Chains A and B, each alone.
Chain A
Amino acid sequence: MMGVREYREVDAAMADFRQRTLAAISRPLDRLIYLSSMRDCNTGVYYHEGLSARFSEEVACEALARCHFEVFHEVSAMPLGDLVSQMEAYVASTHTHLSDFIAVWKGLEPYRVTIPVDIDPLLTEFLFSNFKLALAILETRPNSRLEGGRVSSPQPIPVR
């Protein structure tokens, strides 16, 4: 268990991480995806070299876990309309065709790994449901449909 000193260090690490890293990522959805990518899915441990170097590995991990928790709540409380816009902006930032993105996200459901470990199952289900709805809404957009014989995509279309 952490002592008072470690808790203070965690707070300092969180402030540092918010200021140096999260501030540069404007959309909460992008932050959620980024933070979940820093976690080892086998152990649940978060890694960030810079933060570990400034503090300790344990403090950095705890700080990242808490930031992840905060961002999760921010995204799950977001109105559905905002989630759709953020998802659309995220797709644009990855330079993926919308139809490919929808196909992969519907098939693989990668959003399932964006959830922090100790989140209430109801909130998790709620966010998954919102992701599903956002994908269904994006699918209604005209540019989400694959044009017949489209060859513009540089990447191969994933196997379905």
Chain B
Amino acid sequence: MSLFLLFSLLGAGFLLVLYAFLTRTSSSVPEGSAQSLLVAHRALRRLQQTLLAPYTVDCIFSESDLDFVLSVDSPEVHQLFLLERRRIALLWVDQIRGEILSLMRFHRSQSGFYADLSPSAELSLITGFWSLLLVCRSLQFLIYFRGPFATRAIAGKAVLAAGRLCQTAGKPIVFLDAFSTGLNPPSPGSQVSK
């Protein structure tokens, strides 16, 4: 029994070391690299321009769409609508979570190179990131079990909190907005051969 315990502990220790090694090598972006800066900037822009935009939230949680579908005399359509909107709402939260994680990674490793945030601001930012990730998980849980339309108000509050966090988190990389047109992916027009 004690031998089993010893082996289990050794195994767990080995896995922990392996995990630490892998996570260290997988995020081995050179410190202050332009790549990580661009990834963070893209995440911030996507959050501010699409994922947290009132337009997106209004579309996904649209009460008028719900009323319209309920006016259709077909239980299959009602069910399909609720399933589809739940799928989209879950995808939406998942993508917000992904972009928040990108920003968080950037702040954990790189932000010191670009801006001087006070320790208290850094602390509130880290707390903000973690609480937002927790809110996202709870939101996913609620959307899954209660449906998107019952969670619209909570989603709205989460969006406001995420928007505030983006403003603080975006300070070190906000200077890139001035060059944002140059950072966009090539437009189809630029591919026309001359």
Contacts and interface: CB of A to CB of B under 8 A. Distances in A.
Q: Do A and B bind each other?
A: yes
A140 interface: yes
Contact of B64 (A10, A81, A137): A81
A99 B194 CA distance: 45
Contact of A132 (B55, B69, B84, B192): B84
A108 interface: no
B59 A76 contact: yes
Contacts of B56: 122-123
A65 B189 contact: yes
A65 B84 CA distance: 29
Contact of B68 (A62, A76, A79, A132): A79
B131 interface: no
Interface residues of B, number: 36
B-side binding surface: helix, strand, loop or mixed?
A: helix
A122 B81 contact: no
A126 B191 contact: no
A118 interface: yes
A157 interface: no
B22 interface: no
Contacts of B73: 140
Contacts of B64: 79, 81
Contacts of A126: 59-60, 88
B190 interface: yes
A10 B187 CA distance: 12
A84 B64 CA distance: 14
Given A120-B50, A123-B56, A140-B73, A46 B190 contact: no
B51 A136 contact: no
B188 A137 contact: no
Given A123-B50, A126-B88, A133-B80, A80 B191 contact: no
Interface in A63-111: 63, 65, 76-77, 79-81, 84
A132 B73 CA distance: 17
Interface in A117-151: 117-118, 120-123, 125-126, 129, 132-133, 136-137, 140
Contacts of B91: 122, 125
A39 interface: yes
B51 A62 contact: no
Interface string B50-69: 11000110011010110011
A118 B46 CA distance: 12
B30 interface: no
Contact of A140 (B62, B74, B88): B74
Interface string A39-54: 1000111100000000
A83 to B, nearest CB: 9
Nearest to A140: B74
A140 B77 contact: yes
B76 A136 contact: yes
Interface of A: 1-2, 10, 39, 43-46, 57-59, 61-63, 65, 76-77, 79-81, 84, 117-118, 120-123, 125-126, 129, 132-133, 136-137, 140
22 contacts: A1-B182, A1-B190, A10-B189, A43-B191, A44-B191, A45-B192, A62-B190, A79-B62, A80-B69, A81-B64, A81-B65, A120-B46, A120-B51, A121-B95, A122-B92, A123-B50, A125-B91, A126-B59, A126-B60, A132-B80, A136-B76, A140-B73
